[in-house]
Amino acid sequence: MTRKAVKGSVIADLLAENPIQDYEALDFEFPDEHINEVDCEEEGPADVWEMYFDGAVNLSGNGIGAVLISPDGKHFPIAVKLRFDCTNNVAEYEACVMGLQAAIEMKIRKLEVYGDSALIIYQVKGEWQTKDPKLIPYQKYLLELIKKFEEISFTHLSRDKNQFADALATLAVMAQIEEGQMAQTLKIKARSEPAYCFMIEEEPDRKPWYHDILGSSENCRIPFGGEQE
């Protein structure tokens, strides 16, 4: 015998010589046989939103624009016309503040902010300081808004990567908007063909769309003589 076999027989002899009173066999029946596997719930998609902002100041007026993008890619554009004189930096601060206020109203907790104003981005990060008395109140207010988010980051973009927010700011400048007037949601679509180009496709297992027209024309033919058959 091998050592393993001897050990097993000794345990069997010991159990036979010392029986247990009131012994009950173990029940190995699994009550929920229809359950094959139990997995942990998967985490949902990241709940981090994105915000782009920009300001526009020109001879036509002043405007600001911002767009909030949800984790699933939905866009929420905002455009506001400023009816007071301001510099480019003030307009940029106004746009950033407006975007953050909208995010707070929408109860967004995690946000990634993008803008082409290096002044604002690096001032918020604490890398730059401002001595302009017009910008100091904006900087303080912006820092207070930041505290209302669980996570927030600021990233500087080049102007060509911030075109949507820039277009919204320009739209606010050029549009004639009365005070208190609200416009409908902006819808933007891409079309690869002219509007007059369309095609009606035949549905499967059904007669073509011109079947009824063709049938009626065959039943109502006008002969050369002009009399209807």
Structural domains of the chain sorted by starting position, each given as residue range(s) with its CATH number in brackets: 49-174 (3.30.420.10)
pTM of the model: 0.62
pLDDT digits (tens, 9 = 90+) for 34-45: 555 555 444 445
**Which is more confidently placed, 25 or 101?**
101
Checking if the pLDDT of 226 tops 50, the result is: no
Residue type, 191: R
Q: Which two tokens stand for residue 151?
A: 């996570």
Q: Which two tokens stand for residue 58?
A: 């020109």
User: Cα angle vertex 9, ends 5, 14, to 5°?
Assistant: 150
The pLDDT score that the predictor gives to residue 48 is 93
Question: Quick one: average pLDDT of 122-138?
Answer: 86
The pLDDT score that the predictor gives to residue 52 is 96
Residues in the chain: 229
How deeply is 202 buried, as exposed, middle or buried, from its count of CB atoms within 10 A (0-12, 13-18, 19+)?
Answer: exposed
**Nearest-CA neighbor of 97 among 153, 158, 53, 155?**
53
How deeply is 149 buried, as exposed, middle or buried, from its count of CB atoms within 10 A (0-12, 13-18, 19+)?
Answer: middle
